[in-house]
């Protein structure tokens, strides 16, 4: 039971990172017209999250042998 829970939680973490990236990109678009440097900083944060997702996927593969083909599936 703990293994199933841990896998589900890891997938949830990955999905939450997707949501944060989307919000950062939306915020960047808001700031771009007046403060492009601040928009760039938000996009950089989104890139860091993308790298974090990649690290999480590698960790997942190391723990369970493979990466989910669909992080949004059950």
- Rounded Cα–Cα distance for residues 56 and 13 (Å): 9
% the chain with pLDDT above 90:
92
Mean pLDDT of 13-31: 97
- Rounded Cα–Cα distance for residues 22 and 7 (Å): 23
Domain ranges of the chain: 2-64
pLDDT for 20 beyond 80: yes
Mean pLDDT of the chain: 95
Model confidence at 74, pLDDT cuts 50, 70, 90, reads low
- Rounded Cα–Cα distance for residues 69 and 61 (Å): 11
pLDDT for 52 beyond 90: yes
pTM over 0.75: yes
CB 49 within 8 A of CB 67: no
């Amino acid at each position: 039971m703990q293994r199933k829970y841990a896998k589900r939680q890891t997938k949830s973490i990955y999905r939450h990172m997707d949501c944060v990236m989307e919000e950062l990109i939306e915020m960047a678009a808001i700031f771009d017209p007046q403060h492009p440097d601040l928009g760039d900083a938000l996009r950089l944060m989104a890139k860091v999250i993308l790298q974090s997702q990649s690290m999480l996927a590698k960790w997942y593969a190391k723990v369970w042998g493979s990466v989910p083909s669909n992080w949004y599936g059950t």
